[in-house]
Structure formats: structure tokens, C-alpha cells
Amino acid sequence: MTRNTPEPPSTTRPGTTRPGTTAANPTTATTRRQALDTPSRRVRRALRSRSALVVGGAAAVALVGGLATVGAQPAIGEAIGMPSASATSTPALHGADLDRAQAAATIATARTVLADANDKTDTSALERQVHALSDYRSMSGSAITTHIASTVDATTQVADQSASQDKADADAAAAAAAKAQADAEAQAAAERAAAEAAAAAERQAAANTVAGAKATASSMASSQYGWGSAQFQCLDHLWTKESGWDYQAVNPNGGATGIPQALPGSKMGTVAADWRTNATTQITWGLQYISAAYGTPCAAWAHSQATNFY
């Protein structure tokens, strides 16, 4: 049989401390993390966290393993009618006191969800549950447990419905914004098209004047046929005689139409369907006819002078 010899007390040199203590307070934790990781602080953090308010029908107080201290949450102490504990005395809640603390935390959870709920969410059932649970001081433990479970279910339902409604509202807002953007783009496109049409009409109106028609004919004669100013002078004489460069001219004797006096006027439809209203279309056809029939405007003018037609 051996004899256990007590270990000699540890010795430290003056001015040193044992691990885990400080010279000022031997029982103080050596790190800030250890100092913050006390049961009372864990409960306080749990009760402040929305995500840790209710789990599986139990209020936030139960999240720390069923251990809560009145000193850590004075509000809960007041709710269950117990004085707050001192910093050196932090008795754990259990039994009826823990049931009431869980009820108080469950109510706090529900009220937070109610405050944050989407305005379109029906919260009436949860409000009734909160009202019923608020009388927990006069309830038995089993009644408190039942009401907590019902309140948790209602809280979860409101939170889910509110989240769904938030998403629906966001989707609707996004759809409305997309439609507004599409409408704005369509309106802008319509305005651009209208502006372009107006500009085209203005250009066409200018081209349909005598001066505009002559400018168009001179440009086309030079660029497409290589006819210079001498040829254009002949063309000017010819079409001044035929129509006075009026795109609306119609010969009452035979129905010859337009600047080149095409007979019938529908011949100019081989160029474009707008031959009745577009001087450029008429000029295009007239230059093609002169080139094919006479070779040059001066030749066509000479024929007109000799026969009174071309």
C-alpha cells in the first residue's frame, strides 16, 4: 500500500502571477474573449439576437442550455417578479421562473416580428397569441409551454408570410420599373421615328419645289450620267417647256404627268410607288428615259424643238 504524498504548493517569484490571473485580480480571465464568454453575457447576446429568439418552440432563454440568470437580464427579472441579482450572485433560473423567462423572451420575439412585418401581412392571429401569452404570470407551467408553442408557430407564420410579401412587392416593383423603362424606350423610339418622318417630309417638300427639283436633277445628271452644266442647261429648257418643273403638272389634252410629262404617268411607278407626289422619283424616271431614248438631254431638247414633243 502506497501513501499519497501531497504536492507541494506552487511557488512564484515576486512580481509574477499564475497563468490565468493578473496581479491586480488573481481570478480575472487573461483574455477579453474569456471575459465576454460568461453565462450571463451569453444569455444577453441571445436575447438581443433576432435569429436566436425562438428555436423549436422554446424561447431564446433556452438557447443557452436552459441556464439563465436574472442578473444578466433585469427586464426578465422584472417580468417574473424577481429582483435582479448582484454581480457576485447570479442564481440560475429553473422551473416556473425559467418558464416565465421563456414566455417573456417569446413575447419579445413576437413583438419584434410584428413591428417588422410587411403592412400587407395579416398579423391578427399573432397579436391574439401575444395577448394570451402576456398573462403568463398567472399560468401553470404546462399552459405556458402550450401558449409559447402556439405563439412560436404564429410568429414563424407571420415571418414567412411577411418575407413572401416582401419578395412579391419587390418583384412587382421590379416589373413596374421594367415596364416603365420599356414604355419610356418605346416612347423615345416613337418620338425619334416621328422626328425622322417630319425631317424626311421637310426634305421632300424642299425637293418638290422648282429650285429643289432642279438641284436634284443637276446632281443626278452629273453623278449618274456624267452630264455637265451644258447638258443640264438643255434639260432645264426641256422640262421648263414640258411642265415648268412642277411635279403636280398634268397635261389636260393627253394626261402626261409630272416634271418629265410621262404618258401615262403610271410609267414612273417602275421607279417607286410615290411617283405622284415625289419629284425625285419623277426626275429619276425622266433621266432614265432621256438616256435610253436620246442619249443626252441636249439630243432630247433638239427633238422637242423640232417636233414639239420628246
Answer yes or no: is pLDDT of 25 > 90. no
**In the 3-class helix/strand/coil scheme, how is 99-158 assigned residue by residue?**
HHHHHHHHHHHHHHHHHHCCCCCCCHHHHHHHHHHCCHHHCCHHHHHHHHHHHHHHHHHH
Q: What value does the mean pLDDT take over residues 112-126?
A: 96
pLDDT digits (tens, 9 = 90+) for 176-208: 999 999 999 999 999 999 999 999 999 999 999
Answer yes or no: is pLDDT of 90 > 60. no
Percentage of the chain beyond pLDDT 70 is: 71
Rounded-to-integer distance, Cα 299 and Cα 22, Å: 121
Which element (helix H / strand E) includes 235? helix 229-242
Return the pLDDT at 29: 43
> What is the pLDDT of the chain when averaged over all its residues?
80
Return the pLDDT at 286: 98
Q: What is the pTM of this model?
A: 0.50
CB atoms inside a 10 Å sphere around CB 153: 15
Q: What value does the mean pLDDT take over residues 30-53?
A: 43
Return the pLDDT at 92: 74
Q: Give the three cell numbers for residue 21.
A: 490571473
Q: Return the closest-CA partner of residue 26 out of 37, 41, 10.
A: 10
Rounded-to-integer distance, Cα 99 and Cα 95, Å: 6
Answer yes or no: is pLDDT of 217 > 80. yes
Return the pLDDT at 37: 53
Return the pLDDT at 94: 81
Secondary structure of residue 257 in the 3-state scheme: strand
Q: Which amino acid, residue 45? A: R
CB atoms inside a 10 Å sphere around CB 98: 20
Q: Return the closest-CA partner of residue 39 out of 6, 61, 16.
A: 61
Question: Do residues 310 and 237 touch, judged by C-beta distance below 8 A?
Answer: no
> What is the pLDDT confidence band of residue 147, given thresholds at 50, 70 and 90?
very high
